[in-house]
């Protein structure tokens, strides 16, 4: 226990706002070792650590932090990887302020320990040590599993099962694996090299990756079941919602999915050197208040916009985005129009969007989400001049797989119905987890649910067939992307 309590978090070195809005490089550059050790030394190593209780997957947080404080980084990363397979991803994108850090004892009077940043530090330190050997694999058990979708849920299931001796094929609709980590979250928040490293690692476990393969079109789930013993569906929630207001079909109005995919995956910012165009828009309005909205607004700035608005119908307190990303957006000059509701989009004679008509809102009584309900103020309309509008108000699962898989039960919002603890669906030999079940959620929840589904698939297939499957020996020195739920 330190003699004097240190309530002040060490700041994360970052690119300066005026520099970073001119590039797509990562904003936060990470703690150097001395700063990481200083920050780790603030941890009180509580007897009953609230942070562990606040972590969706129960990482031994004080354990790895004590290792950092002692300068034993190898022991620290081993400790995290007992339960978290993707610390480089989770240390960057998990909503720690709502989870582990929210329960940190230091947070009562001062700043919580920067748990996410320390997690990232260890992951980056390990990556800098060079190539890491995959763990020894068990003999094949003769069973085959198809994993549909290569996001965090699919990657987790594929790696877990490969490490148990299954022959796994992962089918991905896009030309690159990684799901939202690849096409949605921008490079300046999650460098794609990290995602590629994790995907390559899963392949090194023997997982076969089939890209450009749209299950439900190229081949149905029932057809896969003729060849595979089980199918896992982790196809995410990639179907964007729209506002349903006049003018939404004007040119220059994008869903956030399209906008971010054009930029991240298709490198539209390099058009015409790359094939996918992305219009340079001086004035951009992004509708929504979540991570997707922040990512879109900050991408617009980096694409050269002079003025970027976030148009959100509630107040700052209610923004669902991670606080760090809200602060980054503010620092970068994004204009926040709170308590503002778009009611109409206006175009020119050539159908290009030119303005957004908005109505003012005020906060009323709390709604079913516990947040105060926004109420429209009649007669408060005003115009925002725009050249592009990005709609980032939410997503649902794509209906393709339910439509082409008879007997697969879906919920009211198009999500596949699956048991929370096992991922079992209404159809025999079909499991599902991640955003396709919960609707748009978080990386860590998709990974955790994927791990539970992998366990259930293994229990079912090995139990039914009396397979003698020993898990791969793991001395804890190896990263196992997907082999454990992650988070912080």
Minimum Å gap between C-beta 93 and ligand FAD is: 4
Strands 382-385 and 208-210 come out as unpaired
C-alpha 444/C-alpha 487 separation (Å) is: 5
Strands 230-233 and 388-391 come out as unpaired
Is residue 354 within the footprint of ligand FAD (CB under 6 A)?
no
CA distances from 410 to 224, 401, 425, 474 (A): 20, 10, 9, 38
Give the residue with the Cβ less far from ligand FAD, 250 or 441: 441
Number of residues that bind ligand FAD (CB under 6 A): 42
Is residue 154 within the footprint of ligand FAD (CB under 6 A)?
yes
Return the closest-CA partner of residue 236 out of 182, 200, 162.
Answer: 182
Contact 59, 123 (CB under 8 A): no
Give the residue with the Cβ less far from ligand FAD, 264 or 354: 264
Peptide bond into 272 cis (omega under 30): yes
Of residues 78-97, which lie at the interface with ligand FAD (CB under 6 A)? Answer: 93-94
Cα 390 from chain centre? 19
C-alpha 170/C-alpha 154 separation (Å) is: 8
Give the residue with the Cβ less far from ligand FAD, 60 or 295: 295
C-alpha 64/C-alpha 40 separation (Å) is: 9
Among 112, 345, 443, 457, binds ligand FAD (CB under 6 A): 443
C-alpha 187/C-alpha 229 separation (Å) is: 37
Is residue 291 within the footprint of ligand FAD (CB under 6 A)?
yes
Among 152, 288, 402, 448, binds ligand FAD (CB under 6 A): 152
Minimum Å gap between C-beta 480 and ligand FAD is: 17
Name the segment binding ligand FAD (CB under 6 A); options: 23-31, 96-104, 338-346, 439-447: 439-447
Give the residue with the Cβ less far from ligand FAD, 135 or 423: 423
Return the closest-CA partner of residue 275 out of 290, 265, 287, 286.
Answer: 265
Of residues 218-257, which lie at the interface with ligand FAD (CB under 6 A)? Answer: 234-236, 238
Minimum Å gap between C-beta 97 and ligand FAD is: 12
Minimum Å gap between C-beta 116 and ligand FAD is: 10
Site string for ligand FAD, 386-405 (x = CB under 6 A): ------------x-xx----
CA distances from 354 to 128, 369, 380 (A): 48, 34, 20
Contact 148, 190 (CB under 8 A): no
Give the residue with the Cβ less far from ligand FAD, 69 or 112: 112
Of residues 166-205, which lie at the interface with ligand FAD (CB under 6 A)? Answer: 171-174, 179-180, 184-185
DSSP single-letter state for residue 211: -
Among 62, 435, 452, 457, binds ligand FAD (CB under 6 A): 435
C-alpha 197/C-alpha 181 separation (Å) is: 12
Segment (H or E) for 345: strand 340-347
Handedness of CA 80, 170, 135, 125 (dihedral sign): negative
Give the residue with the Cβ less far from ligand FAD, 58 or 347: 58
Is residue 446 within the footprint of ligand FAD (CB under 6 A)?
yes
Is residue 215 within the footprint of ligand FAD (CB under 6 A)?
yes
Give the residue with the Cβ less far from ligand FAD, 308 or 443: 443
Handedness of CA 473, 475, 478, 483 (dihedral sign): positive
Of residues 297-336, which lie at the interface with ligand FAD (CB under 6 A)? Answer: 322
Minimum Å gap between C-beta 321 and ligand FAD is: 8
CA distances from 281 to 54, 302, 352 (A): 42, 11, 11
Give the residue with the Cβ less far from ligand FAD, 203 or 380: 203
Minimum Å gap between C-beta 68 and ligand FAD is: 23
Beta partners for residue 379, in sequence order = none
Strands 353-366 and 382-385 come out as antiparallel
Is residue 116 within the footprint of ligand FAD (CB under 6 A)?
no
C-alpha 305/C-alpha 218 separation (Å) is: 39
Is residue 441 within the footprint of ligand FAD (CB under 6 A)?
yes
Is residue 410 within the footprint of ligand FAD (CB under 6 A)?
no
Contact 486, 54 (CB under 8 A): no
Is residue 165 within the footprint of ligand FAD (CB under 6 A)?
no
Is residue 418 within the footprint of ligand FAD (CB under 6 A)?
no
Give the residue with the Cβ less far from ligand FAD, 165 or 397: 397
Is residue 214 within the footprint of ligand FAD (CB under 6 A)?
yes
Residues that bind ligand FAD (CB under 6 A): 93-94, 148-154, 171-174, 179-180, 184-185, 213-216, 234-236, 238, 260, 291-292, 295, 322, 398, 400-401, 434-436, 440-444, 446
């Amino acid at each position: 226990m330190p003699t004097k309590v240190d309530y002040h978090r060490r700041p994360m070195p970052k690119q300066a706002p005026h520099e970073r809005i001119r590039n797509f490089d990562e904003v936060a550059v990470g703690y150097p070792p001395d700063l990481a050790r200083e920050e780790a030394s603030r941890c009180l190593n509580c007897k009953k650590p609230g942070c562990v209780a606040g972590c969706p997957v129960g990482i031994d947080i004080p354990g790895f932090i004590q290792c950092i404080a002692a300068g034993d980084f190898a022991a620290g990363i081993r400790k995290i990887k007992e339960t978290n397979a993707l610390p480089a991803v989770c240390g960057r994108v998990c909503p720690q302020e709502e989870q582990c850090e929210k329960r940190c004892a230091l947070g009562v009077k001062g700043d919580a320990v920067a748990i996410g940043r320390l997690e990232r530090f260890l992951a980056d330190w390990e990556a800098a040590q060079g190539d890491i050997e995959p763990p020894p694999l068990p003999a094949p058990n003769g069973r085959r599993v198809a994993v549909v979708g290569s996001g965090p849920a699919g990657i987790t299931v594929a790696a877990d099962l490969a490490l148990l001796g299954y022959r796994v094929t992962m089918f991905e609709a896009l030309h690159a694996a990684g799901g939202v980590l690849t096409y949605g979250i921008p490079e300046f928040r999650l460098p794609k090299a990290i995602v590629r490293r994790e995907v390559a690692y899963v392949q090194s476990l023997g997982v076969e990756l089939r890209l450009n393969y749209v299950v439900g079109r190229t081949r149905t789930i029932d057809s896969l079941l003729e060849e595979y013993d089980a199918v896992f569906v982790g196809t995410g929630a990639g179907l964007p919602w729209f506002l349903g207001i006049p003018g939404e079909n004007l040119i220059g109005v994008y869903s956030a999915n399209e906008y971010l995919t054009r930029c991240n995956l298709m490198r539209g910012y390099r058009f015409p050197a790359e094939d996918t165009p992305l219009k340079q828009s001086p004035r951009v309005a992004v509708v929504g208040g979540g991570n997707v909205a922040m990512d879109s607004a900050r991408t617009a700035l980096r694409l050269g916009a002079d003025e970027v608005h976030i148009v959100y119908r509630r107040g700052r307190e209610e923004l669902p985005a991670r606080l760090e990303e809200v602060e980054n957006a503010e620092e970068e000059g994004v204009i926040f129009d709170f308590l503002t509701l778009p009611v109409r989009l206006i175009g020119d004679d050539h159908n290009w969007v030119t303005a957004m008509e908005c109505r003012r809102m005020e906060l009323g009584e709390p709604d079913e989400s516990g947040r105060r309900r926004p109420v429209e103020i009649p007669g408060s309309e005003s115009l925002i001049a725009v050249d592009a509008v990005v709609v980032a108000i939410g997503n649902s699962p794509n209906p393709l797989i339910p439509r082409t898989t008879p007997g697969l039960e879906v919920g009211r919002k198009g999500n596949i119905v699956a048991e929370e603890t096992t991922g079992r669906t209404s159809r025999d030999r079909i499991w599902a987890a991640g955003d396709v079940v919960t609707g748009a959620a978080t990386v860590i929840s998709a990974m955790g649910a994927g791990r539970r589904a992998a366990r259930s698939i293994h229990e079912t297939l090995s139990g039914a067939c009396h397979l003698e499957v020993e898990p791969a020996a793991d001395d804890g020195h190896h990263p196992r992307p997907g082999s454990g739920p992650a988070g912080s």
